[in-house]
Structure 1
Amino acid sequence: MSGEDRIGGDVVVETLRALGAETVFGLPGQHALGLFEALRRAPDLAVIGARVENNLAFAADGHARARLDADPSGPVPVTPMIVSTGPGALLTLASLQEAKASSVPVLGISSQIPVAGLGGGRHGYLHELPDQQASFRGVVKSVHTVRTASQIPTALREAWESAATAPYGPVWVEIPQDVLLEPVSLPPITSAAAAPPAKAPLPELVAAAAELLAAAENPVILAGGGAVRSGAREPLRTLAEALRAPVLSTFGGKGAFAWDHPLSGQSWAEDWHSTELLAGSDVLLVLGSGLGELSSNYREFAPRGRMIQVEADAGKIESNYAALGIHADVGATLEALLPLVPAREPDGRAEAAVAELLKKVRARLDAQPLDRERQVLADVRAAVPEGTPSFWDMTILGYWAWSAWNADGAPIHTSQGAGGLGYGFPGALGAAATGRRALAVSGDGGAMYGIAELATAVQHGLDVTWLIVDDGGYGILREYLTGAFGQSTATELARPDFVALAESFGVAAKLSSVDTVGADLAEALRTPGPNVVVLPALLRMFAPTHLDRTES
């Protein structure tokens, strides 16, 4: 393409390719025409669409997570997403909130009204917002506004580096309509390489942490999402075995430590016995967690010993509990700790503590009428082939999966970071765009948020299996309201025949049952293309954790 033929949109696409993008998630709009014309001219850059912008952003999130699963030690998989101005941009906010809470590197790019309307200039443009940037500042890591074509490469490179710097997260770039459409004389962009800075720990703090751990009589490790994002599985195993320390994980930290390892206390974060094991340690090493509401068992966690907190997000360090705070990447910190922590002779105490913890968890569940729920989740897990990622909505079976899902060989991704509905199916679509089969799990309420994306799955031929658990409404909210007030309001929902609806999109669908869901799901996961399994079932949550205090 000659220099005279190129427009601002081409500079955007050239820069994205130079930065390493291979797939872009995009939904056109009037102000973004220059971007989509440029995408048409770049056949080596795959474009995945969606029917609604919030689902597009969820799909970009799922794509980034699946690429992190596949290669946690490789380049940070920043995933671009392109939308139009105003309403289109605003619809991505809830999805970007999830990406921010779960540290997912999404690069959001939107068009803007013409330059003349920015900063209090002319008014009356279609889709105009008085200050579009302001809508995003509290949601994403950084916001970048371009006013000329020559600013595009630098703005995109800075945004990419921001997204790829630990803690990862979404960023936002907005480019005016006229800048995207105007001819440019810039040479083609081929070398806009990003170099996100490493978050190395301070040696003095590593030495202090090593001294505390070496002297600990009862050390315990809590692995959070930062341990997963940094690809720290191997150094975490090595350190845990050297310390003879039990390892528990937060819901976001599932997969950081082998589920069936003798030192694995798994991830029953809402269980009082697990909370007590953490609180009773004399030194607790927290890796990549801010110990927020869920990870602290709804603020009931009260540590009685010392705490070391390794966290890439400086704002989370000591924000909830006093600790020796180390502002650094978890993987780099563990590698620095390993030579300084002497290995202990195994004496069986840690393994016995873990076995006793898991025995208490099982006894707690055995005392409740939950056989159906436990069997359904076990059947779903058994149906998932090795390496298949799953994406879960805020549904009762998903709440079970937070605690009980074995993520070894089957990575799990949920929307529990921000807690919004509608994540499961579009997140799985984004993962499937990497070329892998993906599983989505939703309730009937959450499924309705993304039902239009069945058309997207068909259009792009994506290998996605969608399990819809139909309990007639917002099941978890029904339980919350009934538990608090004895009755529920606005939780019962009219819903479609999901099998017939899926088939109307040309998607194969099957009505399953509690007894056959494992076999039905396994068959669906072996079948190319998109498909749906509908499970009519009223599932229940386990009892609130505070009821267990008297048992500990």
Structure 2
Amino acid sequence: MTHDHDLVLRPTPAQREAALNPPPGRAGGDLVVETLAGLGATTVFGLPGQHALGMFDALRRSSLRYVGLRVENNAGFAADAYGRITGEAAPLLLSTGPGALTSLAALQEAAAASAPVLAISSQIPTAGLGGGRHGYLHELPDQSASFRGVVKSVHTVRTQSQIPSAIAAAWKSALTAPHGPVWVEIPQDVLLAETALPVVTAVDATPDDLPPRPELTAVAADLLSGAARPAIIAGGGVVRADASGKLRQLAEKLQAPVVTTFGGKGAFPWEHPLSLQSWLEDRHTTDFLEDADVLLVVGSGLGELSSNYYTFKPRGRVIQIEADLGKLESNHPALGIHADARLALQALLETVEERTDASAPERVRELLEKVASRIAGQELALEQEVLGSVRRALPAGSPSFWDMTILAYWAWSAFDPRGANTMHSAQGAGGLGYGFPAALGAAAADPTRPVLAVSGDGGALYSIAELATARQYDLPVTWLIVDDGGYGILREYMTDAFGQATATELTRPDYVALAESFGVPGVRTTPETLAEDLAKALATPGPSVVVLPAVLRMFAPTHLG
């Protein structure tokens, strides 16, 4: 009896000839880049180092495009953004020890945001492995142990024949819901040694589907169909699963108001009659959600920010759809459905009954009016003017990447992203320095549209070296730096808590002159001219810097009421 897969595995005469006579001059590093290309990768990020040179030399013989950054952590942020924008696993090539460890903060952000990053690191030669101390440069007793608590999976290689399968397994892991970063390490001698192995051409690493169990979606559909006041919280899982269209269909079918988390920005249209927007740090919104008799949470673990600092106490029945098993019912009892958001929303669409509720849009309007009134009473016209100027200047469809800075905290709640998968920030893990290198990764993914990065002056100093990267690859990124003389949000936190701030004031460079020294045009702007200057910079090809000297304030916290 002949099975189809038996036929698939039989090489053609040409394939057999190529396999038996591989081209000369190849090494283990070639197996790495051949496997990546065979999996569909087109662009890799990274930074070379002594033990990793075999991989980087192999790039010269491959069709892969290399985008090199100046700091490994920034290369990780760039790969993270590339993965978010494309939905593909973004290869990140790193060296051993210090080079590898410098990427940890970026990989933590990728893990928190479910961004598919495929980190491939070198290792000391195999003779030095095993936990001893052999005196090799960059040596760690157990390098992979440093990454196990951060990434989805760790894959170690000790021979050349293991390279294709290890990378394929890592690729599959990165792209199986929930997406995330993965780690592969390969010793220096394995990368450098010549290989007689055939060229890697056929690699299958199709990610596994994560469908919902039908008995669970049947119960969920029944609860939602019979609800008097259903509501929906849409998280980053909706964006990652490309499920915003299905979310909108379901919300309209149920007449259920929708709030998007900060990681789920763009999952639901901002101006839709059922849109509660993203005002999660607001007691009015928290009260509204607590009042829902059935609350559908899709693609969110309801963590610190999404739960208004854990003050959210739902009174109705909660249904939680979550691909990350560890987040399922981690904060609230629920009907937990372990599934990819897209597949689960499709199952609900097919089974819920249509509801009519003429009051839902009116309740949404009333809530947004309460929020607007609260903000209006706090004398925050400057902050709203600046954020409005950014929105006017940024073309619809252009992505934006926000560092951990006061303007970004405003944007989490108040910025209309005008589409799914267009606004991204480092709010998953909360590390500084994300905005600009991430924007570079997005521009590498799609150089046909301008990309905006937003940083404070403190965060900008984390990634200032990447102005050289922006110039070298002529990437269309406009970097808005809001210069308030220090770590503005920490200054505010400390002043509120202790009466005065410590270690928050910074000596800064002249950012315009510094940008111009890299060959990147810069301009100093004002709140009044920001929209015009930013629009002009975004419309100009290549990188640019816009500096706004301004001290912004956060709106008053509302999780205390």
Deviations 1:404-442 (CA, angstroms, capped at 9, x unpaired): 110114811000000000000000011111223211000
Match of 1:230 among 241, 245, 252: 241
- Separation (CA, whole Å) in 2 of partners of 1:31 and 1:172: 16
Tell me the residue number matched to 2:364: 354
Describe the superposition over 1:205-238 as per-residue Cα deviations: whole angstroms up to 9, x where unpaired. 0101111111111100000000111111111111
Aligned residue in 2 for 1:524: 537
Deviations 1:235-265 (A, max 9, x none): 1111111111100110011111110000000
Partner residue in 1 for 2:404: 394
Given that 1:3 and 1:184 are in contact with CA atoms closer than 8 Å, whether structure 2 keeps it comes out as: no
**How do 1:245-284 residues align onto structure 2 when only pairs under 5 Å count?**
245-284=256-295
Give the alignment partner of residue 512 of structure 2, picking from 478, 499, 510. 499
Report the equivalent of 2:432: 421
1:271-350 alignment to 2 at 5 Å? 271-345=282-356, 347-350=357-360
Please state how far the C-alpha of 1:372 moved relative to its aligned partner: 0.5
SS of the residue 1:545 aligns to: coil
**In structure 2, what residue type is equivalent to 1:182?**
A
Which portions of structure 1, spanning 4 or more consecutive aligned residues, are displaced by more than 2 angstroms? 1-4
Shift of 1:307: 0.2
Distance in 2 (alpha carbons) for counterparts of 1:377 and 1:457: 25
Among 205, 216, 225, the alignment partner of 2:216 is 205
Give the distance between the partners of 2:244 and 2:28, measured in 1 at CA: 43
Aligned to 1:51: 70
Deviation of the 1:94 alpha carbon: 0.4
> Hey, what does 1:62 align to over in structure 2?
81
Paired letter, 1:462: L
- Range 303-312 or range 232-241, more displaced: 232-241
Which residue pairs with 1:73 in the alignment? none
Equivalent pairs: percent with the same residue? Answer: 67
- Letter in structure 1 aligned against 2:324: D
SS at match of 1:439: strand
Question: What one-letter code is carried by the residue in structure 1 that aligns with 2:186?
Answer: I
Task: Please state whether the residue corresponding to 1:253 is helix, strand or coil.
Answer: coil
Amino acid at match of 1:525: L
Partner residue, 1:455: 468
Q: Kindly provide the amino acid, as one letter, of the partner of residue 512 in structure 1.
A: T
TM-fit CA distance, 1:340: 1.1
Letter in 2 for 1:214: S
> RMSD value over aligned CA atoms?
1.0
- 2:269–2:419 Cα contact (<8 Å) kept: no
Q: Match of 1:497, as an amino acid?
A: D
Distance 1:100 1:187 in 2: 34
1:525-548 Cα deviation digits (max 9, x unpaired):
00001100000000000001135x
Q: CA deviation at 1:448?
A: 0.2
In the alignment, is the contact (CA less than 8 A) between 2:309 and 2:559 conserved in 1? no
Q: Paired residue for 2:128, among 117, 138, 155?
A: 117
Please, what TM-score do these two structures have when normalized by structure 2? 0.95
Give the drift of 1:3. Answer: 3.9
Secondary structure class of the residue paired with 1:398? helix
Unmatched tracts of structure 1, length 5 or more? 69-76
How many correspondences in the alignment? 538
SS of residue paired to 1:420: coil
- 1:74: which partner in 2? none
| SS of equivalent residue, structure 1 residue 51 | coil
126, 133, 145: which is aligned to 2:156? Answer: 145
In the TM superposition, residue 122 of structure 1 has moved relative to its aligned partner by 6.3
Q: Is the 8 A contact 1:62 1:431 kept in 2?
A: yes
Output the amino acid matched with 1:490. Answer: A
2:227 matches 1:216: yes
1:28-57: CA deviations, max 9, x gaps?
100011001100111x21000011110110
- Contact 2:22/2:199 (8 A) holds in 1: no
Q: Tell me if the contact between 1:3 and 1:186 (Cα under 8 Å) persists in the aligned partners.
A: no
What's the offset of the Cα at 1:352?
A: 1.0
Paired AA for residue 7 in structure 1: A
* Corresponding letter in the other structure for 1:363: S
After TM superposition, the structure 1 stretch with the greater mean CA deviation from structure 2, 525-534 or 538-547, is 538-547
Indicate if the aligned counterparts of 1:116 and 1:122 stay in contact, CA closer than 8 A: no
Q: Which runs of 5+ in 2 are unaligned?
A: 1-20
Task: Give 3-state SS (helix, strand or coil) of 1:472's partner.
Answer: coil
Q: Deviations over 1:165-222 (max 9, x none)?
A: 1000000000000000001111100111211100000000010111111111110000
- Decide which of 29, 45, 49 is 1:9's aligned counterpart: 29
SS in 2 for 1:174: strand
